[in-house]
Amino acid sequence: MSQITIRPIDIRNISDDDAKASHELRVALAAERTPDDPAPKWEDTQAQLQSIPTFVDVWVWFVEQEGKTLGTADLGVMRADENQHLAQFSIKLLPETRRQGLGKLLLKEIVAVAEAENRTLLMTDTASTVPSGAAFLERVGATVGLESHVNQLKLAEIPGGLLDTWTSDLADGFTPGLWEGPYPEESIEEILQLFDIFNTVPRGELQVDDFKLTLEQLRQQEESRAKRGVERWSLYVRDNETGKIAGFTELMWNPHKPTFAHQGITAVWPQYRGKRLGRWLKAELLKKLVAERPNVTIVRTENADSNDAMLKINTELGFKPYLAELVWQVPTETVKGYLG
């Protein structure tokens, strides 16, 4: 391909023209990855570009030919005490431009930054609807660290009476509570501890360490969602005897995708499992969604294929696989070898 240029982008100060080019590329790639969904809206792209948390550093490159954006690449590193060996990246190219060496050119830029940041492991993901991504990563020498699915629930297909049945009896000794919007300051330390449950979720062969969410990171995540207009409900149950929160679940709704809701983390501390708390939490929050967001018709969530306990609950609710996702990992040195 002639007259190809790789141009770095200052993503936190992106120009209007580059933001629009990024949006056009996002629309084209979304049509391939999720062809049944409505196209991403410009307002949502704008909000995402303006709401990157400061504890994440991101490098972005455009690959261009005669002024046309053919694709993009990015590399992100989290400024945290944990997983300082890790960097996450993506390469996204228009279908007609693939297998022409552009991915390799972008990968050179990614590796150069990863080395400068002392990141020895690179991680990315692919979707079953875009098989070229997996084929490219296999050539690079990456391996699959986790198999997962985006699972989808059509609310109209929930078995009749199921939500009422699941919520008819909360296990003895527990009291529910609800947080809408930002988490309250008076419970913030306990809330931060709740996210430690996520470290008990199966993560396959991924070479990642446990992650400890900090207050600053949590508040920045909330600020980022607020800029995008995303609303979050968090439902929890508290052990009456100890006062400890036993588990919680989250639902999020983006006004730019008004017919969709996203099921976030659902987690119960190991000592409270077996009491059907996860079932109660998810069903109760779905009842609230049906009552208060009548325009929502679909709920999506991501689950590791090895997370049998959560998949059992989701399957009984009516969740079905929507698309398969693979999380890949590859040592930076392996990528250098591929690049020659």
Q: What are 276-292's pLDDT values in tens digits?
A: 999 999 999 999 999 99
pLDDT category, 198, cuts 50, 70, 90?
confident
Longest dimension (CA), the chain: 71
210 pLDDT more than 60:
yes
Write down the pLDDT at residue 200: 83
**Residue written as token pair 């629009």:** 20
pLDDT category, 21, cuts 50, 70, 90?
very high
Write down the pLDDT at residue 194: 87
Q: How far apart are CA 129 and CA 47, in angstroms?
A: 26
pLDDT category, 128, cuts 50, 70, 90?
very high
Q: How far apart are CA 45 and CA 182, in angstroms?
A: 22
Distances from the Cα of 329 to the Cα of 90, 146, 199, angstroms: 12, 9, 19
pLDDT category, 275, cuts 50, 70, 90?
very high
Phi, psi of 231 (to 5 degrees): -100, 145
Give yes or no for a contact between 54 and 216, defined as CB atoms under 8 angstroms apart.
no
Domain parsing of the chain, residue ranges: 4-119, 151-326
59 pLDDT more than 90:
yes
Mean pLDDT of the chain: 95
Q: Which fold has domain 4-119?
A: Aminopeptidase (3.40.630)
325: tokens are 């996702």
1 pLDDT more than 70:
no
Do 151-326 and 4-119 fall under one CATH topology?
Answer: yes
251 pLDDT more than 60:
yes
Reduced 3-state DSSP string for 192-230: HHHHHHHHHCCCCCCCCCCCCCCHHHHHHHHHHHHHHCC
Q: What is the DSSP letter of 186?
A: G
Is 253 exposed, middle or buried, given 0-12, 13-18 or 19+ CB atoms closer than 10 A? buried
32 pLDDT more than 60:
yes
Give the CATH H-level superfamily of domain 151-326: Gcn5-related N-acetyltransferase (GNAT) (3.40.630.30)
Element (H, E) at 152: strand 143-154
**Residue written as token pair 């947080």:** 179
170 pLDDT more than 60:
yes
Write down the pLDDT at residue 72: 97
